[in-house]
Structure 1
């Protein structure tokens, strides 16, 4: 990290500092929204004092980001079209990243100021869609190619299904607790606990479950939402200082060999299935040298595989390759991965071969889609500090303003356990979901199940924010990107 700025011109160094600051600002504000939701119930129910809750939440977020991998990070990144990912060094790609970040920060900050539990995931994805569509229009390409719409559909479904599941499952869990533990103290609100029992804190076992589930929400939040910032920082680093970050500089000889072997096995897999893939991949055409202005085309697959093997043959560390060759290798690997994704979508491979193809995709991109430890730590720190600064507004909304009555201990447990399960499942499939939506929906579900009633005004405000987040973030990012492209003529 310390040699990050060595040898960089002043303007490039300033651009890098600004871009990194914007990403960390986004994650800082994300802490206002999403991480504050993770500790909202445990603070409101007095299970933990705020300073301890946010401190341990920050630690759990850090561990979640550290151990969560980068699957979700690059699921977000791959909403951008493959041509942008192949050519991140150009000015237009960087303008896209700046526009995405600025739009996401403006909307997140505005909704936080109003105390509305808004979705950082929705904001970021909407901003990406906005610049993707405008980029296609500015380059005279079909809008259908401006965004990876297949990935966008998968993510959109996860963002829609997860809060609905949170609402239903949390409500059912509360009904089960009410039936199994009739008359239990877990069904009291903190106010009732103080008035009737003259005690400040929840009963011991309820308190323990509230604390553990809140920290689990923080952990899965870090392993899901925290990765979005990681993906954005890697876009910035690869775009501004590609010589240092375009491929993992810490890749071991074993990892590089696995990448090489993946291309060999990929060619074998395609050859075994040439009868159904030849027309799509031009497998029986002799490989031809790739053009200098490389574009990802499935029919160039044999040539691309051959180019990777020639580049990596005998290589033990990526710094043995000239920077230009490293850039080419990254482009080739991402192109092979994109083509493999499209092959899988054809539905013509036997189940065993399709499973092998997925494993080969992971090996292909292992050293091209990575994140240094300092990037992970910086994102985790920004999330944690954001939680400590801005938690109060969202805690009050979640604890008191969604339902007409205060939240009981059982409601807090049901909402938090449901959020852990929903986000954990999404992590398994590398799908981004909104902690805000899942937890707020879970609280609303328990309010309905408890017959507490909902504050219609608050619910309408939250729903309106969710409905407006996509179009507003799209318009903001699209407008900023258009203005930047026209102003700088890039």
Structure 2
């Protein structure tokens, strides 16, 4: 029980760190164009991160807990222990803090998945990975998510440019500055729906492991019960305890309120210079990408998505408007995230195994 409490506490700590690490994703565009002040922007983003919980609980607008189900099934429940999950969380937290300190907008999502999988592989080998199709799809979206965000942003930018080509520049600027509130809110909904669910999936996996470790016939308390169903010959999560849902969304919202100013500077100013019209296009493209991927249960990176969208709006202006040197360094960090956190998690698993016995 003590180890389970430690795992849950660390999962929520990771969720909080995810909030301020990825706050830049939600607010970098709206801050860099000065549509909102930084404090207003984080409050705006945190509020809409939380709204997602209500939408998902009532299955409104297509928001459901598909991503949590996918993450919980990355590793076979019967083949792992709470020590595996603990090692994965410690590695994920370490890498997130490292990249935040250096202002590198890496993916918290892939940090978590890499850590979770790396610790499990260290214990039981690659056979412990459950749904390889989902894993390959997740890996593929390291590149597909930013590409999709970039293409959508380019399309939206071109459409807007044609629709408003005769508009008064100063009036259009004021109008798009207000419109950015809507596009930023939409992106924050996508951020909350995708990122908080990943931690819900990790806690659900921990609860399923805890249940599996109990003696046959033991009655679990209601707070520890994760309901599952069999569909298509595979186990799926049917219900996650309410305390897990509320605590995960509260943690990411509080993290977002804490800001993430180091990464905001990278996202909002160093990739390309943004105007309100371009901020609307980037946020809208990112929101559409995140909505579609959460609908299909694909745990993508909000960082990758909004970076691709920002590159897209910059490239529409002119190719030289994008600082490609910065972009290449970000791409390298993305590629390294999963193997580095996987290796860290493997090392931590063996250290914990020796320490805990």
With structure 1 as the length reference, what TM-score do the two structures score?
A: 0.65
Relative to structure 1, the CA distance from residue 392 to residue 211 in structure 2 (aligned partners, 3 Å threshold; closer, same or farther) is same
Task: Confirm whether residue 98 of structure 1 aligns to residue 98 of structure 2.
Answer: no
| CA apart distance, 1:449 | 1.2
| CA apart distance, 1:480 | 0.9
Q: 2:66 aligns with which of 63, 71, 74?
A: 71
Q: Deviations over 1:42-86 (max 9, x none)?
A: 1221112222221121121112134333221120110002423xx
Relative to structure 1, the CA distance from residue 61 to residue 488 in structure 2 (aligned partners, 3 Å threshold; closer, same or farther) is same
Q: 1:386 aligns with which of 255, 264, 275?
A: 255
| CA apart distance, 1:408 | 1.5
| CA apart distance, 1:185 | 6.1
With structure 2 as the length reference, what TM-score do the two structures score?
A: 0.87
1:81·1:132 contact (CA, 8 Å) conserved in 2? no
SS of the residue aligned with 1:407? Answer: coil
Aligned to 2:7: 19
| CA apart distance, 1:147 | 4.3
1:99·1:477 contact (CA, 8 Å) conserved in 2? yes
Provide the rounded CA distance (Å) in 1 between the counterparts of 2:100 and 2:156. 29
Aligned to 1:323: 219
> How do 1:267-346 and structure 2 match up within 5 A?
322-323=218-219, 336-337=230-231, 340-341=233-234
2:154·2:316 contact (CA, 8 Å) conserved in 1? yes
Relative to structure 1, the CA distance from residue 233 to residue 135 in structure 2 (aligned partners, 3 Å threshold; closer, same or farther) is same
SS of the residue aligned with 2:74? Answer: coil
Provide the rounded CA distance (Å) in 2 between the counterparts of 1:185 and 1:233. 52
> How do 1:106-125 and structure 2 match up within 5 A?
106-125=94-113
Provide the rounded CA distance (Å) in 1 between the counterparts of 2:121 and 2:26. 33
| CA apart distance, 1:183 | 6.1
1:65·1:226 contact (CA, 8 Å) conserved in 2? no
Aligned to 1:50: 38
Relative to structure 1, the CA distance from residue 132 to residue 149 in structure 2 (aligned partners, 3 Å threshold; closer, same or farther) is farther
Q: Deviations over 1:169-198 (max 9, x none)?
A: 212221232233226566xxxxxxxxxx7x
Q: 1:153 aligns with which of 136, 143, 150?
A: 136
Task: Confirm whether residue 225 of structure 1 aligns to residue 195 of structure 2.
Answer: yes
Aligned to 2:302: 435
Q: 1:466 aligns with which of 334, 337, 348?
A: 334
Task: Confirm whether residue 40 of structure 1 aligns to residue 35 of structure 2.
Answer: no
Provide the rounded CA distance (Å) in 2 between the counterparts of 1:44 and 1:182. 23
Relative to structure 1, the CA distance from residue 97 to residue 144 in structure 2 (aligned partners, 3 Å threshold; closer, same or farther) is closer
Which structure 1 segments of 5+ residues have no match? 1-11, 85-91, 138-142, 187-196, 247-291, 294-320, 342-360
Count of aligned residue pairs for this structure pair: 346
Relative to structure 1, the CA distance from residue 446 to residue 83 in structure 2 (aligned partners, 3 Å threshold; closer, same or farther) is same
| CA apart distance, 1:238 | 4.4
| CA apart distance, 1:33 | 2.9
| CA apart distance, 1:211 | 0.4
Q: Deviations over 1:86-125 (max 9, x none)?
A: xxxxxx6101110111111111111111111111111111
SS of the residue aligned with 2:258? Answer: helix
Q: CA RMSD in A?
A: 2.9
Q: Which has the larger radius of gyration?
A: 1
Relative to structure 1, the CA distance from residue 129 to residue 20 in structure 2 (aligned partners, 3 Å threshold; closer, same or farther) is closer
Aligned to 2:205: 235
| CA apart distance, 1:322 | 4.8
Q: Deviations over 1:217-250 (max 9, x none)?
A: 111211111101112222334445x49xx9xxxx
Q: Deviations over 1:442-466 (max 9, x none)?
A: 1011111111522233212211111
2:150·2:312 contact (CA, 8 Å) conserved in 1? yes
2:152·2:285 contact (CA, 8 Å) conserved in 1? yes
Provide the rounded CA distance (Å) in 2 between the counterparts of 1:67 and 1:46. 29
Aligned to 1:216: 186
Provide the rounded CA distance (Å) in 2 between the counterparts of 1:206 and 1:162. 25
SS of the residue aligned with 2:98? Answer: helix
Which structure 2 segments of 5+ residues have no match? 57-63
Provide the rounded CA distance (Å) in 1 between the counterparts of 2:127 and 2:166. 57
Q: 1:207 aligns with which of 177, 182, 185?
A: 177
